[in-house]
Amino acid sequence: PLGTTVMRMTAFDADDSSTDSALLRYNILKQTPTKPSPNMFYIDPEKGDIVTVVSPVLLDRETMETPKYELVVEAKDMGSLDVGLTGTATATILIDDKNDHPPEFTKKEFQATVKEGVTGVIVNLTVGDRDDPATGAWRAVYTIINGNPGQSFEIHTNPQTNEGMLSVVKPLDYEISAFHTLLIKVENEDPLIPDIAYGPSSTATVQITVEDVNEGPVFHPNPMTVTKQENIPVGSVVLTVNATDPDTLQHQTIRYSVYKDPAGWLEINPTNGTIGTTAVLDRESPYVQNNVYTALFLAIDSGNPPATGTGTLHITLEDVNDNVPSLYPTLAKVCEDAKDLRVVVLGASDKDLHPNTDPFKFELSKQSGPEKLWRITKLNNTHAQVVLLQNLKKANYNIPISVTDSGKPPLTNNTELKLQVCSCKKSKMDCSATDALHISITLILLSLFSLFCKSFP
């Protein structure tokens, strides 16, 4: 404002400070530039204070040719009434910018068009501001003050251009609303100076048109879950799916198809979405993970071009006792003098789940001959041991064993343990003779069979 002290000039005189020769007076000799007034400033002749002497309107940085003024200031002593000694100095005054001009939109209404389902910048809002660029008095801050209840839009300032970048951050739905109207206001980072306020030009309207896009059908629910027992008959209904078209105004039809069916067990009715089995569902299949079989299906609308939606089906398979137990190991070796010694520990496993697995029942099939050669004893729910009851000659023996699970009804696996009786000397086991004996017996049987065939042409 008028009369504001800008700076103080101070001069020094080496003469006796108690005389007039050291008494100084100040004067402005020259002002550069001379516009808008040649006398923009006044200096107090005794104190050296430089003050403004013009209206604040003339000290408007935005209307000046340059924001810098240079004053040539003279300091003169009073040592003589006619001629005093003088000295000069230059005072440089920079006119700082104040936020005295609010930002104004370049137009009252902006237009934007966006496809439904798309996000990103849709329009740049432009403003003008007469304050110094790249300062807080010039930088704009935009705010959406109306029309954004769902927080689908955001606006940010472009730091290079000062434009307001209006973005869609939540995809818009044409079927819900085809038009949106936003009211945007703009302010500066720095507050306006007193007596200056934001006017009508500091707000603008944005009219947004949403374009319809053919959207893919949506499965309800997704993913879909169902529980079925494995081994249900082929042709059984698993589930009827339901997909709807978000494009409610287009009245399109939907057709269904199988997308991914790893085991090839399923089919779907293309018109009503009923899913049925084309093969037996097997819980023990490698395509089943953690008892769950997963398949994908498509719903395709009749748009041009058609749009597709994907649905996921999780089938939890309940276990059925459909697997016999497996016996391990199937081969054992023992020395000739191994009577009353444990030959081998047998284990059993089952691909099914409890209660269709252990405890397992281990049994020996009926042994021929007057004397028993071995016995089997249960160790726990999953293991048993085979013990020799007599010393056996070198040979290969097949021990018939049955193992039964605990399913209802139970399943039994009738299998054999191949036992090799070998010669053992000094902790070394030699089973070569048993192998040769086994081969010799096989050759004899083949020779007898050949003779039999020749006798009966």
Residue 444 has pLDDT above 80, yes or no: no
Instruction: Read off the pLDDT of residues 111-160 as tens digits, 9 standing for 90 and up.
Output: 999 999 999 999 999 999 988 888 899 999 999 999 999 999 999 999 99
Residues 6+ positions from 326 with CB-CB distance below 8 Å: 348, 349, 350, 413
Cβ–Cβ < 8 Å for 406, 383: no
**CA–CA dist 401, 420 (Å, integer):** 16
At residue 81, the pLDDT reads 59
Burial of 217 (0-12, 13-18, 19+ CB in 10 A): buried
How open is the CA angle 374-396-436, to the nearest 5 degrees? 160
In this prediction, residues 296-316 reach a mean pLDDT of 96
At residue 447, the pLDDT reads 42
Beta bridge partners of 224: 313
CB atoms within 10 A of CB 276: 16
**CA–CA dist 20, 363 (Å, integer):** 136
**CA–CA dist 412, 110 (Å, integer):** 81
Residue 343 has pLDDT above 60, yes or no: yes
At residue 433, the pLDDT reads 54
Q: How far is CA 376 from CA 329, 343, 366, 373, in A?
A: 14, 10, 12, 11
Q: Where are the domains of the chain?
A: 5-94, 104-211, 218-318, 326-428
Instruction: Read off the pLDDT of residues 208-236 as tens digits, 9 standing for 90 and up.
Output: 999 989 989 999 999 999 999 999 999 99
Residue 438 has pLDDT above 50, yes or no: no
Residue 48 has pLDDT above 50, yes or no: yes
Residue 436 has pLDDT above 50, yes or no: no
In this prediction, residues 24-40 reach a mean pLDDT of 92
What is the CATH number that goes with domain 218-318? 2.60.40.60
Residue 455 has pLDDT above 70, yes or no: no
How open is the CA angle 423-428-430, to the nearest 5 degrees? 40
At residue 437, the pLDDT reads 44
pTM, to two decimals: 0.60
Check for a shared fold between 5-94 and 218-318: yes
How open is the CA angle 243-247-222, to the nearest 5 degrees? 30
Q: How far is CA 395 from CA 126, 184, 283, in A?
A: 100, 98, 42
What percentage of the chain exceeds 90 in pLDDT?
66
Tell which residue, 402, 401, 400, 387, has the closest CA to residue 334.
387
Identify the residue with better confidence: 138 or 1. 138
Cβ–Cβ < 8 Å for 220, 248: no
CATH of 5-94 among 1.20.140.10, 1.10.10.10, 2.60.40.60, 3.30.70.920: 2.60.40.60
Tell which residue, 216, 224, 204, has the closest CA to residue 245.
216
450 φ/ψ angles, rounded to the nearest 5 degrees? -65, -45
Residue 339 has pLDDT above 80, yes or no: no
Identify the residue with better confidence: 421 or 453. 421
CATH of 326-428 among 3.40.50.1110, 3.40.190.290, 3.65.10.10, 2.60.40.60: 2.60.40.60
Identity of residue 67: P
Task: Give the least confident one: 94-103, 123-132, 261-270.
Answer: 94-103
At residue 80, the pLDDT reads 65
What is the CATH number that goes with domain 104-211? 2.60.40.60
At residue 452, the pLDDT reads 44
In this prediction, residues 88-106 reach a mean pLDDT of 90
Q: Average pLDDT of the chain?
A: 89
At residue 367, the pLDDT reads 65
In this prediction, residues 344-357 reach a mean pLDDT of 95
How open is the CA angle 218-224-227, to the nearest 5 degrees? 160
Q: Which two tokens stand for residue 38?
A: 């040649």
Q: How far apart are the first and last CA of the chain?
A: 136
